[in-house]
Structure 1
Amino acid sequence: MPQITVERSAYLDDVDWEEFAVALHPVVVETAAARLEACKTRVLRTEDDIVGAEWERHAIVNVSIALLAGRSDETKARLTEAVVELLRKHVQPQDGLTLHLSAEVRDLDPSYRKAEV
């Protein structure tokens, strides 16, 4: 915990996603009182991104952060705002490409368990 998933368009191969994750983890720690060593991020490249009726020249990035329950709605909102601002710093606009940047924070299901082996 936190479990972080970044889904991003193939158009954004030039972004340094490792650098983004390293910058993201302290934001999660500071905003949501998480431990740095507990932050885990996976970046998933999507191949087919469709916006409305268009399948070209749109790049989508969505960051999903799953936390153990207990954070207030205000804390979650502050975190999503901070994540979108961080995305703006790391994902630069490109000519002819519309960027769609989003973030969400949700509670992990109470059944969540983890193991480190």
Structure 2
Amino acid sequence: MPHLHIEYTANLPDLDEQALMAALNQVVCSHPSVLHDSEVKARIHRIASFRIGTQPQDRAFVHVLLQLLEGRSEATRQELAQALGAVLRQQVPPRPGLHVQLSVDVAEMNRPCYYKHQG
């Protein structure tokens, strides 16, 4: 724990997935609320089929969901959301003719309902 889920639309073919995951992981791993970098798990999904409003041909998005076990303050979650958003702005530059929406959601996971086994 934490888990990073990254989704982006297929009309961003030049998105460097590895660079984006590395930069996002760096933000989360370096945050004082995260004790071990080995706990941060990232995955990225390219969305081939999507619709944004009524004109998907000139619209795109990159969305990051960071899931944390409950117990961190709202200020900590806001700080992480802002830092992850800054990474998105750096890693996903504007593209002429394409409206790209960048978003981050930091969600809490219910500690009693989270299962993890390390072998």
Equivalent position SS for 1:56: helix
Q: Confirm whether residue 113 of structure 1 aligns to residue 85 of structure 2.
A: no
Q: Confirm whether residue 12 of structure 1 aligns to residue 48 of structure 2.
A: no
Q: 1:101 aligns to what?
A: 102
Matches within 5 A, 1:24-63: 24-31=24-31, 33-34=33-34, 35-63=36-64
Measured after TM superposition, the shift of residue 23 of structure 1 is 1.3
Deviant stretches of 4+, over 6 Å: none
Q: Give 5+ residue unaligned stretches, structure 2.
A: none
Q: Give 5+ residue unaligned stretches, structure 1.
A: none
Contact 1:32 1:75 survives alignment (8 Å): no
Equivalent position SS for 1:12: coil
TM-score by length of structure 1 reads: 0.91
Contact 1:15 1:91 survives alignment (8 Å): yes
Contact 1:2 1:39 survives alignment (8 Å): yes
Measured after TM superposition, the shift of residue 11 of structure 1 is 1.3
Equivalent position SS for 1:64: strand
> Which residue identity lines up with residue 76 of structure 1 in the other structure?
R
> Which residue identity lines up with residue 86 of structure 1 in the other structure?
V
> Which residue identity lines up with residue 8 of structure 2 in the other structure?
R
TM-score by length of structure 2 reads: 0.90
Measured after TM superposition, the shift of residue 19 of structure 1 is 1.1
Equivalent position SS for 2:57: coil
> Which residue identity lines up with residue 39 of structure 1 in the other structure?
V
Q: 1:86 aligns to what?
A: 87
Task: Quote the RMSD (CA, aligned, Å).
Answer: 1.4
